[in-house]
Chain A
């Protein structure tokens, strides 16, 4: 079994988001980077499935050298090897093309990703990769079990779940509760240092979109506090200001 997990290198969920250069560049000052939370779920489930079936678990990031600590963390969590495709990822289609070209060469049985990145929130790279590879895609996946060459999957839909069966290979975008996040232990961290991390050059550089400027949302006004013994006042405000009653 060959499993690929694609991971993003993204600002920690508590980071303050700011821009520089006249709002044309993300300001990296003081920002801590993490494995995308959804990718972390995909990775956790992939480690469990690899342990169950044997085989090899590869993690991949399309990014510049600064993302290597994030890939090392994925190795510490339990991946067997890492691949970094050396390019600045500024467009989902570009990233999907890199991943698909790599996957074509290796022939993975299963490609797991997060349901979406937490920087650009596209939710599209998995579907694009699947289409490029001519494979089925499914997202957002909250349960994934293997029975031989068939995956049994639960996919979240508005207000519920849909259950599916798919034959390998396929691409999935994952979310909780597919598995619990895994925290690297000391042995994992030690062994991660000697696991292979291969850098590959980019293949093709077609982009479909290009970001030209950033903007911050308008600041919120001060909260109007209402006495807990006077809920009537809130009802009036919901009627007259918010107009929801």
Chain B
């Protein structure tokens, strides 16, 4: 038996969250005394392919088909199913993502596998196979047993430390047969802000709320983000009002982030917003109201006017960087 990881890339660059999933897989492989392999779909250089070895994978199957460069859900599911079979795997690991979630759900049926997502730790495999996952949007955890032979685990950010000391992986080309139906959902165009750090991947996030008063003041948020090397986010009313694009909306009904540092400026800390940030390691809150509920969820807080605090903080951070 072996473990296989579905590895995503952005225009040929392997995603960091996929390397985390690979690190999880290699830790699990070690625990079980088996081998961990990966599968990459689409156009990716040999160097990038081999680099997944650093996270502990022995082999990477490469399906070099440019039709798979885009995230065609059904086609990806068919290709990964064939890699799973080729590897003689019983476990598929992947990082949670907009594409990964959609692909894994179809694979659960194709592979007759038990699929658990939002996994936060390695499974316990003595006796029954149980795994810990985050539920109620981060408000609790569940220990769930998988009762099928084949297993799929969707791993949350920071579930295991990133492994970086593995040897380069050996790359094997893999041919797959894709059905006609695999391309039934036709991608006609993609609209993407390229230079930004993607929010779900970011290690530092700076978010602004209604306290920022209007989109014309977002340069203050962006300046701090730039100084910190952070991605920018916002509260729901901010994206609802069109001050910021929808994909920046953090919370229960938006992106769930899990950065090392989350900085919330002019956000009150409604429970629905907190649901999206409670996996952050450190939280800084800047709010002029000392009673703002967000302070209860914060590690560090500054009670003050964002318009005065932000420029000072940005300068102070620039000075030490």
B140 touches A19 (CB 8 A): yes
Q: In the complex, what distance in Å separates the CA atom of A118 from the CA atom of B303?
A: 32
Spot the interface stretch: A65-73, A185-193, A226-234.
A226-234
Q: A136-B184, A163-B191 are in contact. Are A93 and B114 (CB under 8 A)?
A: yes
Chain B CB within 8 A of A1 CB: no
A124 touches B295 (CB 8 A): no
Chain B CB within 8 A of A209 CB: yes
Q: Which residues on B sit within 8 Å (CB–CB) of A175?
A: 253
Q: Which residues on A sit within 8 Å (CB–CB) of B247?
A: 156, 158-161
Q: Bits for A1-24, please: 1 = Cβ < 8 Å to B, else 0.
A: 000000000010110010100000
Spot the interface stretch: B28-36, B48-56, B82-90, B115-123.
B115-123
Q: Which residues on B sit within 8 Å (CB–CB) of A122?
A: 115, 117
Query: What is the distance, in angstroms, from B225's C-beta to the closest C-beta of chain A?
Result: 13
Chain B CB within 8 A of A48 CB: no
A223 touches B301 (CB 8 A): yes
> Which residue of chain A has the shortest Cβ distance to B308 in the bound complex?
A228
Spot the interface stretch: A55-63, A75-83, A194-202, A236-244.
A236-244
> Which residue of chain B has the shortest Cβ distance to A234 in the bound complex?
B300
A215 touches B106 (CB 8 A): no
Main secondary structure on chain B at its contact with chain A? mixed
Q: In the complex, what distance in Å separates the CA atom of A244 from the CA atom of B263?
A: 12
Chain A CB within 8 A of B21 CB: no
Q: Bits for A113-126, please: 1 = Cβ < 8 Å to B, else 0.
A: 00000111111111
> Which residue of chain A has the shortest Cβ distance to B117 in the bound complex?
A122
Q: Tell me which of A37, A123, A235 contacts B253 (CB under 8 A).
A: A37
8 Å CB interface, B268-321 against A: 271-272, 275, 278, 281-282, 284-285, 295-305, 308-309, 312-313, 316-317, 320-321
Q: A119-B135, A223-B299, A224-B300 are in contact. Are A214 and B142 (CB under 8 A)?
A: yes
Q: A136-B184, A161-B191 are in contact. Are A244 and B140 (CB under 8 A)?
A: no
A164 touches B302 (CB 8 A): no
Q: In the complex, what distance in Å separates the CA atom of A238 from the CA atom of B284?
A: 10
B105 touches A225 (CB 8 A): no
Query: What is the distance, in angstroms, from A111's C-beta to the closest C-beta of chain B?
Result: 14
Q: A93-B108, A140-B98, A142-B246 are in contact. Are A160 and B253 (CB under 8 A)?
A: no
Q: In the complex, what distance in Å separates the CA atom of A65 from the CA atom of B4?
A: 41
Quick one: which of B102, B190, B285, B321 has the most chain A CB within 10 A?
B102
B185 touches A136 (CB 8 A): yes
Q: In the complex, what distance in Å separates the CA atom of A99 from the CA atom of B105?
A: 15
Quick one: which of A137, A231, A243 has the most chain B CB within 10 A?
A231
Q: Tell me which of B203, B271, B302 contacts A226 (CB under 8 A).
A: B302
8 Å CB interface, B164-205 against A: 181, 184-194, 196, 198-201, 203-204
Q: Tell me which of A118, A127, A165 contacts B252 (CB under 8 A).
A: A118
Query: What is the distance, in angstroms, from A168's C-beta to the closest C-beta of chain B?
Result: 11
> Which residue of chain B has the shortest Cβ distance to A165 in the bound complex?
B186
B98 touches A158 (CB 8 A): yes
B145 touches A128 (CB 8 A): no
Q: In the complex, what distance in Å separates the CA atom of A245 from the CA atom of B314?
A: 13
Q: Tell me which of A139, A167, A209 contacts B101 (CB under 8 A).
A: A139
Q: In the complex, what distance in Å separates the CA atom of A241 from the CA atom of B117?
A: 31
Chain B CB within 8 A of A213 CB: yes
> Which residue of chain B has the shortest Cβ distance to A115 in the bound complex?
B101
Q: Which residues on B sit within 8 Å (CB–CB) of A217?
A: 138-141, 278
A231 touches B113 (CB 8 A): no
Contacts A160-B191, A166-B184, A212-B145 aside, 19 further interface pairs with beta carbons under 8 A come to A123-B105, A124-B115, A127-B105, A137-B105, A137-B106, A159-B192, A161-B190, A210-B147, A215-B141, A215-B143, A223-B300, A226-B301, A228-B302, A231-B302, A232-B316, A234-B302, A235-B317, A235-B320, A238-B300
Seen from chain A, the residues whose Cβ lies within 8 Å of a Cβ on chain B are: 11, 13-14, 17, 19, 37-38, 92-93, 96, 118-128, 130-132, 134, 136-140, 142, 155-167, 170, 173, 175-177, 207-217, 220-221, 223-228, 231-232, 234-235, 237-239, 241-245
